[in-house]
Structure 1
């Protein structure tokens, strides 16, 4: 009996390439840094907004990079080794990280802010358009 891969069911047509993307993302996300994802309350006619907040204590703005490419939001942190003291104990490591989030079609990044060791990335999710397309049926002769 063969085992089906995730997203390899007859009901998910055209998602085969997404399976490899999900596998890459799973490898890229090792649990560091911790993060939250929150839905921001709608005010008036605002679109649905989300906020991703990552705990990046010890990183400066120049050591962080946020990029969006092909529905993948990637956050990278690169900290140089600091030789600014003779440590008796080192519990805060200079550690590099990469965290990847796969965004749904149509989601857009509004901006990112760094405050008090928290990197916040605001996203907007537009209301999905409810389009019904009529498919004509032709008769075979």
Structure 2
């Protein structure tokens, strides 16, 4: 079931992104192909594993744009075959992953029928916490400010 957010759009201001995220979550829940896993390798490294049995690297494109990673597959049927049972999907697909800020794609490779996408969170130096020195008067030492005698 798909929910229509239109009535809420009319009565809210500044929640555009929230409704876009809710719509995306709902749309993603409805998509089921290709199956995938998202794994945390350590605090700042992640891996997306996508089951792509029967696809070659030439039939798959991976695009990173802003905070969205898009995976598309276009299966090229080379010849007409007669199947008695067809359980391996060869359909075209498009799956998108929303990446958090400062998460970058470091590489991708095919391994044992899986597309493995390596991700790394790299927080810029300017955004990392840093210790600030506090300057002040050293205890026991009094500093007099210039003054005129009355």
Q: Same fold (TM over 0.5)?
A: yes
Q: Which structure carries more helix by proportion?
A: 2
Matched, 1:130 2:126: no
Q: Which moved more, 1:60-69 or 1:24-33?
A: 24-33
C-alpha distance in 2 between matches for 1:69 and 1:95: 24
Structure-2-length-normalised TM-score: 0.66
1:103 paired residue number: 99
RMSD (CA atoms): 3.0
Task: For structure 2, list consecutive stretches of 5 or more residues without a partner in the other structure.
Answer: 1-6, 131-150
The partner residue of 1:67 within 60, 63, 70 is 63
Greater C-alpha radius of gyration: 2
Over 3 Å counting, the alpha-carbon distance change for 1:17 and 1:32 in structure 2 is: same
Partner of 1:134: none
Residue 46 of structure 2 corresponds to which residue in structure 1? 50
Aligned mates of 1:52, 1:15 — CA distance in 2: 30
Q: How many residues align?
A: 119
Q: TM-score, normalised by structure 1?
A: 0.69
**Could you say which structure has the greater relative contact order, defined with CA pairs below 8 angstroms and 6 or more residues apart?**
1
